[in-house]
Structure 1
Amino acid sequence: MRIALTSVLVLAAAACSPKAVEPEMAPTTVPETASELHERLLVMDTHLDTPANFSKPDFDIRADNPSVLGSVQVDLPKMQRGGLDGGFWVIFTPQGPLDADSYEAAKQAALTRSDEIQAMVSANPDSFELAYTSADAARIAASGKRVVYQSMENAYPIGTDLALVETFYDRGLRMIGPVHFRDSQFADSATDLSANDYGGLSPLGEDLVKEANRLGMILDGSHAADSTVDDMIALSTTPLILSHTGVKDVYDHPRNIDDALMRKIADDGGVIQINAYGGYLEPLEPTAQRQAALDALQTEFDGISPLTADDETRERYFARMEEVDAAYPAPQSTFEKFIEHLLHALEVVGPDHVGMGADWDGGGGVKGMEDVSFLPKVTERLLAEGYTEAEIQQFWSGNMLRLMEQAEKAKQGASVE
């Protein structure tokens, strides 16, 4: 733990003063609490899967919806209580087959999700505003609205037509990641151990990186294999972000990154955003009853993965999965384990290269931080660990906005140094 010396120095200076302050003249200002500081900061999260809820008839972004760990954690009342000013709202498409029909279906799904994000903002102009530049965030937050940047988790909907990257950019997309759970047409995934590896980026993936650089978009290395991240660093003209990840030194999972890669990303100017997805924070063993129910589910669907199934099958699968979760809840990680990942990353690369991307509404959330209303606890803990207000501001949004500004400058042909 780092030790803050400000209070000690102030007391020492007072003791040495030749003129003591009379008790009745002593300042009466009450020190600012961690919650008050948190409310003053510009607080952003780089991975909000909340758009997945926009098409659900029982979800209302303006209502205080019942929290469901991992799937219903972000709405306006919770953002207000948690001091969350906004962030990147995700266009996510599961990885499917690499053929023309599947690419077209994925493209239409992504366009629909983008439409839903824009429709939500249009329906709530007093509370939300679409953001397009690094300068937009502070302006929108100062107006009392919530900031809505758009990102794409898994570039699968782009197919092989890189002109679509600009189509989504024109709609407001400002961050893009090439891959998800399985290898895509662009890159190797951290969690796909098949033999059909590119050794990092594919040739099409290299072109995707160049196109994102040309347009001024942040490149997201989350879910990418280490070799893919290495290739992205080598090729990109601007630093990378990992919008939601964990650290391998705390839990050795393929989705997490080791200290050497963390340092490489930071040395290049990039940022690692720590997630709160329990399965990436620590080993979580299901109960025997839950495991039996999961095995029965796999048998029922004949081993079909929901990531590759057709829409109807996927919908039935997730409905059954909700039934299993309700009957036999999944084991959960804890706030302290999340903090362990966060503090390790801060120790390795420092506060100029770490931020928050908890994977809200996409599986993230832990005991003690079940939804975004609990975010002030993170600020409180960082203060207790000795981090300064300026460093905590970097964590909450400064680092991410710096990357966005660098991407904008690179688009304009300026130096990103």
Structure 2
Amino acid sequence: MASASLIDKAIVWESAVGWTPECLDEGPDMLARYRAAGFSFLSLTIGADWDRPEPTLRHLSQQRRWFEARAHEFEIIDTVADIRRAKTSGKTAISFHLQGAGPAAYEPAMIDSWYRLGIRWMILAYNTRNPLGDGCHEPSDAGLSMLGRAFVAEANRVGMMLDASHAGVNTSLDIIELSSKPVIFSHSSVFALKNHERNVNDTQIKAVARRGGVIGINSIGAFLTDDNTSGVSAIVRHIDYIAQLVGPEHVGLGLDTVFYQPFMTKLYDSGPMMALRGYPRPPWADVKPEALPELIEALDRHGYDETALLGILGENFLRVAEQNWRP
């Protein structure tokens, strides 16, 4: 299969592009690389659990203005139809998400306001415990709190897609069970292939698939291989594991390319937690957008037909977005 012709045909969806203020020095160059590689849609992390509403709102407003000034290259989208139209017009579709509920001040009523401003999905608990539930590194592994359950209900009402990446196992299972709409793991890999708390186990994979959701495979080596290396073959291994377990319609791309290595090194060195939770010291190995043709060709050799490939590249996530977002 010719990878170039498939990229031309596909909506290529990337779920996790770091875009908090710490990531922006290298950001514009990275966007150009995603565009050149043929990615159709990029979701940008505009705020994290440790952020609060006012600075996140300021940052989002500044970034919306930055993209609107480059409307010949980018289109900030509201709907799945917008993503398809941007592809047709040669633009890269842009949306935003929150990795944690801190920017919503842990207040369910703020979900609708963030949705109206362009946030299309949110993580509820990021790595550690917050008022909504436990993150994946909390030893207690408690599930959603009463407040977390209220967040799920309000997100469903508003159309905000829910992302269970970074959540604890029981928190993620509660989100999946309580949500009336499909849930995603936007950038998580397979625990059975790499024993890391950030990865998702078979119970989580089966639960999210049973409700129609999708898992985007993370390309960071710490989540892929025992020696923390990365590469296309490692990603294919994780994609194939999920496809064999629950079907190729439940897997996609969440490469989470770390183009802001100095910031991650500073974060790693700021305290012992990352080392204690199994992370190597940065720089971290990952897969860059230019590897997209190699990834397609590897999946093709693995026996994935065009329908499955189009799904993995983006149609699977588009299906879930269409079931969540307002039309």
TM-score higher than 0.5: yes
Larger Rg over CA atoms: 1
Post-superposition offset of 1:363 = 7.2
Query: TM-score of the superposition, structure 1-length normalised?
Result: 0.69
Consecutive unaligned residues in structure 2, runs of 5 or more: 262-282
1:186 aligned residue (132, 140, 149): 132
Secondary structure at 1:339 match in 2: helix
1:239 aligned residue (177, 182, 188): 182
Counterpart of 2:31 in structure 1 is 75
Structure-1 separation of matches of 2:41 and 2:20 = 13
Secondary structure at 2:128 match in 1: coil
Aligned amino acid, residue 44 of structure 1: W
2:198 aligned residue (242, 245, 255): 255
Change (3 A) 1:51 1:86: farther
Post-superposition offset of 1:46 = 1.2
Counterpart of 1:88 in structure 2 is 43
Counterpart of 1:355 in structure 2 is 252
Give the number of the structure with larger relative contact order, counting CA–CA contacts within 8 Å between residues 6 or more apart: 1
Aligned amino acid, residue 92 of structure 1: G
**Mapped pair 1:49 → 2:23:** no
Counterpart of 1:115 in structure 2 is 61
**Mapped pair 1:386 → 2:297:** no
Structure-2 separation of matches of 1:345 and 1:125 = 37
Structure-1 separation of matches of 2:94 and 2:224 = 27
Cα pair 2:231 2:287 within 8 Å, conserved:
no
Number of equivalent positions:
306
**Mapped pair 1:402 → 2:319:** yes
Post-superposition offset of 1:154 = 0.9
After the TM superposition, which of the residue ranges 108-117 and 339-348 deviates more from structure 2? 108-117
Counterpart of 1:34 in structure 2 is 3
Counterpart of 2:94 in structure 1 is 148
Map residues 330-349 of structure 1 onto 2, 5 A cutoff.
332-349=229-246
Post-superposition offset of 1:361 = 3.4
Q: Deviations over 1:300-351 (max 9, x none)?
A: xxxxxxxxxxxxxxxxxxxxxxxxxxxxxxx643332222212211211111
Post-superposition offset of 1:366 = 7.5
Change (3 A) 1:233 1:217: same
| Percentage of matched positions with identical amino acids | 28
Cα pair 2:134 2:143 within 8 Å, conserved:
yes
**Mapped pair 1:200 → 2:143:** yes
CA RMSD of aligned residues (A): 2.3
Counterpart of 2:158 in structure 1 is 215
Structure-1 separation of matches of 2:289 and 2:210 = 30
Cα pair 1:245 1:256 within 8 Å, conserved:
yes
Post-superposition offset of 1:175 = 0.6
Secondary structure at 1:75 match in 2: helix
Structure-1 separation of matches of 2:27 and 2:134 = 37
Consecutive unaligned residues in structure 1, runs of 5 or more: 1-31, 66-73, 96-104, 285-330, 413-417
Q: Deviations over 1:191-247 (max 9, x none)?
A: 122x5x6x2111111111111101111110001111111111221110110000010
